[in-house]
Amino acid sequence: MTQVENHEFSKLKQDEVAIVMVPFPSQGHLNQLLQLSCLISSYHLPIYYVGLATHNHQARIRAKALNPSNIAKIHFHDLPNPELIASSNLEKVRDVSMLLRDPIASFIRDISSKVRRVVVVHDPMMSYNVQDVSSLPNAESYIFNCISVFSCYIMMCLFLKISGQHEEELLKKLYSFEGVTTDEAMDLSDSQHPYMDIRSGDIHNTSKVIESKYIDLMEQAEISLNKKQWAIGPILPTKLDYISNRENICLDWLNKQPPRSVLYVSFGTINSFSDRQIKELAMGLEQSKQRFILVLRDADRRDIFKGEARKVELPEGFEERVKEVGLVVREWAPQPEILAHLSTGGFMSHCDWNSCLESIIMGV
């Protein structure tokens, strides 16, 4: 442990409850646990955000929409970046999971010896990493789900074989899941299930106003094993007071556009499109003559996993032809701020839960 970390631990009081956050290394997941960390830090509880140094750095520099005073209260504990050899990003995540268990367990043991109680809040895809919490008498863990409760419940019905009249009727109404996710993603998810039983409950970034029915069904499901369910979202601030003076190419461009005139187009940080799909999308935007911001996110995987990222090919001359009405962004874009901007009038997305919530919160 470094001298800085010892200094941080020296501030802890024996009668305190310390919170340890363990996020999954994908931008939307990093964001949501950091938002939750800020919310909890406002209650003056010590928060430790634990992850690879690369991911912690990325989470911090992209948290411009959050209250700086709350961010300042969070202790970012950097784990060493392991050397990985894998053929895909998900294989790298799986390999990281196998390598981070020991350093995470060591950190939690250290902090548990200095406080009255430790609460570990982790992504379900990091369940393997936090399994040693069960060996500590003054520690407990909770899963924080970054997807909707509806999605959680459907996956439980489909893949964990929950059965009942309601479940059977519900599944009949769904489209096929074939092709929706990859075998790698399913293998990663399956590898975490044996370690989820140690949790004390589930925290959801949702609201009973939005998902009351499925929150109730989750509580009743046999697989929940009487685990308490909390719906505490949406956790992103509804008013972004911390960005009004911030410089950013997207925000600067939006400042010059009429109110509610811009279509924001972004498909998340881990989705990949073929060159043909990108060209079709670009041609559609150009022919629509609609004002737009188009975010090409292949660069984001490079940031997260330190791998090579291909350059997305747009139709020849596209950016020059649309420069009066469109902006193409190849680096990270501040999505909450863009959605909150008065010039943004629509959002074309892959509809992951984080994007859906941000769209709802910002009224787009």
Which residues are part of the catalytic machinery?
Answer: 29, 123
Query: Which residues, 6 or more positions from 292, have their beta carbon under 8 angstroms from its beta carbon?
Result: 262, 263, 264, 265, 285, 322, 325, 326, 327
Rounded-to-integer distance, Cα 149 and Cα 353, Å: 10
Query: Which residues, 6 or more positions from 84, have their beta carbon under 8 angstroms from its beta carbon?
Result: 92, 95, 96
The helix/strand/coil state of 220 is helix
The helix/strand/coil state of 357 is helix
Joined tokens for residue 348: 């074309």
Burial class (CB in 10 A: 0-12, 13-18, 19+), 238: exposed
Rounded-to-integer distance, Cα 126 and Cα 329, Å: 31
Across the strands, what pairs with 78?
51
The helix/strand/coil state of 109 is helix
DSSP state of 101: H
CA distances from 199 to 10, 203, 240, 264 (A): 28, 11, 33, 38
Dihedral angle, C-alpha 104, 54, 126, 178, nearest 10 °: -160
- Smallest CA-to-CA distance from 326 within 223, 254, 273 is with 254
How many residues are given for the chain? 364
Rounded to the nearest 10 degrees, the angle between the axes of helix 208-220 and helix 149-159 is 30
308-315 contacts at long range (C-beta below 8 A, 24 or more positions apart): 312/273, 312/275, 312/278, 313/275, 313/278, 313/279, 314/278, 314/279, 314/282, 315/279, 315/282, 315/283, 315/286
